[in-house]
Amino acid sequence: MTKALLILLSLLTASAAVAQQRIVTPVDPLTMGTDDFARLADPALWDGLTVTRIEFRDDRAFWRLYRIDNARKPDGPLWFVPHDNENAAFQAAIYAVRAYGGQVIAVEEARSVDGPDSRMNGDVAFGKPIDPNRNFRDESPAYASEILAGLGQPPRLIVALHTNEPGYDAASSTCGPPPPAYTGKGEISVLLCSDLYMPRRSFYGDWPFDDTDSVAIVSYPGSGGPGDGFCVHGLADADMNIMLERVMTSDGSLSNFALFHRLPYVNLETQDRGVTPQGLGDARSRLLAMIGTVMDRCAPIDGLSLRPPRLAEPIRPTRRKRR
């Protein structure tokens, strides 16, 4: 067993001291009062899925998670939805766990089951609200333990799902002003260049990558190069929008945690298009299209390595036949 996996296993068992504060409750998704579940109140959608609410305290915060398992296909990815206000991401995770199996972990804003939805967890004993995707830190071992409890051995693929809010400022990008056809509005965009991010834009710009806010984010170690990121060659070959994140020290995100613990991880983002049926459907469809590509190019297959070997030639997009 590698040193990184030994460290991970020790972290995932470090929360035993707070086990008595952990409350696990089976729930019926069709009778839940939260907006995420109410929008998906279709018995056929939940057939074969089991839902569990997990509540616990870690350090200064109280947390509420929902774990959704596919009982018929338990061996799929771990689908992670850290932000309660990113509604299309939750819907995409439910559709994905039905199609590909595995487990969803979704963070519920803990102050009230009835809302309002929030990006941050404000149920803290002291200090500022906590970003659920900036809490993978040594001082909060129970949190990482709960999120990754179903990771398995060998670790399953982790797919994080996000919708980003309007607010991208071209002035903060070293790439220069956006092109005339620019339509993206999110803070996460393949147009963004910085010391942290290096974009690799889709060559053809086919849907869903006609929108520059629909991207895969892949982290790579600062001591290496972009080609060291998980599945980056497979995603580039599929002509995805990719933001390559250079990581020197952890910012507390799951992407950084996964990188330092050598876990297979891909982050998928698209623009938040509101909570109307049309807006949710558009954002959900874009995420599901990217999920399909990730599962095709990056998911573990018997007899193949989980991490594709590095290629000798530079990354170049290739057009594939439509299916």
What pLDDT, in 10s, does the model give residues 75-122? Answer: 999 999 999 999 999 999 999 999 999 999 999 985 655 556 788 999
Domains delineated in the chain: 3-297 (3.40.630)
Region 139-165 average pLDDT: 92
Using DSSP's 3-state secondary structure scheme, residue 305 falls into coil
- Beta-carbon-side half-sphere exposure of residue 27 (alpha carbons within 13 Å): 20
The tokens for 6 are 């030994």
What are the phi and psi torsion angles at 266 (to 5°)? -135, 140
Report the amino acid identity of residue 34.
T
CA distances from 55 to 132, 148, 190 (A): 14, 15, 36
CA distance 283 to 313: 34
Region 120-142 average pLDDT: 91
Residue that the structure tokens 């040594």 belong to: 138
pLDDT at 323 over 70: no
pLDDT at 167 over 70: no
Q: What is the pLDDT of residue 289?
A: 97
**Entry pTM:** 0.85
Q: Comparing 113 with 320, which gets the higher pLDDT?
A: 113
Q: What is the pLDDT of residue 316?
A: 39
Q: What is the pLDDT of residue 33?
A: 83
Region 54-71 average pLDDT: 94
Helix (H) or strand (E) holding 279: helix 277-297
pLDDT at 283 over 50: yes
Sequence-ordered list of residues with C-beta below 8 angstroms from that of 210, at least 6 positions apart, any chain? 183
Helix (H) or strand (E) holding 203: none
Nearest to 226 by CA among 242, 211, 250: 242
Sequence-ordered list of residues with C-beta below 8 angstroms from that of 192, at least 6 positions apart, any chain? 168, 172, 173, 175, 199, 243
What pLDDT, in 10s, does the model give residues 28-52? Answer: 999 998 899 999 999 999 999 999 9
Per-residue buried b or exposed e for 238-266, using 16+ beta carbons within 10 Å of the residue's own CB: bbbbbbbbbbeeebbbbbbbbbbbebbbb
Q: What is the DSSP letter of 124?
A: B
Region 165-190 average pLDDT: 69
CA distance 32 to 132: 22
The tokens for 31 are 């009778």
Region 157-184 average pLDDT: 75
Q: What is the pLDDT of residue 322?
A: 40
Share of the chain above pLDDT 70, in %: 78
What pLDDT, in 10s, does the model give residues 195-241? Answer: 888 999 999 999 999 988 999 999 999 999 999 999 999 999 999 99
- Is 317 in contact with 237 (CB distance < 8 Å)? yes
The tokens for 112 are 């009230």
Q: How many other β-carbons are positioned within 10 Å of the β-carbon of residue 20?
A: 8
